[in-house]
Structure 1
Amino acid sequence: MTSPVLATPPASPADAVAFFLARLTFFTDVADVHAALDGEPGFVLVDTRSRQAWDQGHVPGARHVPAAALPGPLDPTVPVVTYCWGPGCDGATRGALALARAGFRVKEMLGGIEYWIREGFAVETGAGRIEQEPDPLTAPCGC
């Protein structure tokens, strides 16, 4: 009996390289964004959520440009990383698409603010910075 995992065979190594390289071209994760924001990131991080969601907490240093308002006042010569609520929301994807259509180089931050918070990274609110303990199921990943 064939394993359900192998019922559809894995891609050839060349196809796998192309696929995984493409994924890394289009996506980044919260740990890499967090590490990049400690220095000169070389990109602008854009929160595509509503004003109410932004006010509840956002990544420190992010810019707020709701998906419907993109490309907004962004510099098209600077790469953009978009994020929204999390994996159950397409706001960052819609935002990235709008930016790409406008000629921007763009990536999407996988996991959104949900995984940013779950990894224990600080969020900025009107009352200041808030930090929570990392979710032991998500952090530390170490990859």
Structure 2
Amino acid sequence: MTDAVAFFTARLAHLTDVADVHRDLPAGGFALVDTRSRAAWDQGHVPGAVHLPTADLPGPLDPGTPVVTYCWGPGCNGATRAALALARRGFTVREMQGGIEYWIREGLPVQTAAGRVEHAPDPLTAPCGC
């Protein structure tokens, strides 16, 4: 049981989800970093996010500000690689599970060149209620 407690405690310390990021982003207190390519960023990103592909990290980030990384989604480990790169530089960092895919699937707003866009939530993913 001790192993399970340690495992799940560590997961919650280093991972977050789109609902929590959406709830906490307006209050600030962390930098939300989109690690995808310029083309992907231009297609749509979380409003308020900073575009910093992993190769460009840490960029202008303040080491004293916690960071949340995200990438495409659960089929991509770009946010994990970025979080590791930042952690190695001493940043407090978490990864947003689900990435932009689940952000969109939950019906949350996306910033595009044409403006802010919202899609209907995917009934398979939202509302989770957890």
TM-score range, shorter chain: over 0.9
Whether 1:126 aligns to 2:113 is yes
Match of 2:35 among 48, 58, 63: 48
* 2:18 matched residue in structure 1: 30
Among 65, 69, 76, the residue aligned to 2:56: 69
Amino acid corresponding to residue 16 of structure 1 in structure 2: A
Which deviations, in whole Å up to 9, do the C-alpha atoms of 1:50-95 show, x marking residues without a partner? 0000000000000000011111110000000000000011110110
TM-score by length of 2: 0.98
Q: Higher Cα Rg: structure 1 or 2?
A: 1
TM-score (norm 1): 0.89
* Unmatched 5+ stretches in structure 2: none
Segments ≥4 residues shifted beyond 2 Å: none
Q: Distance in 1 between matches of 2:113 and 2:61?
A: 23
Q: What CA distance in whole angstroms lies between the structure 1 residues aligned with 2:36 and 2:12? A: 23
Q: Say which of 6, 31, 48 aligns to 1:18.
A: 6
Deviation at residue 102 of structure 1 after TM alignment: 1.0
Q: How far apart, in 2, do the equivalents of 1:26 and 1:37 lie?
A: 17
Identity %: 75
Asked if 1:106 corresponds to 2:76, the answer is: no
State whether structure 2 residue 84 is matched by structure 1 residue 97: yes
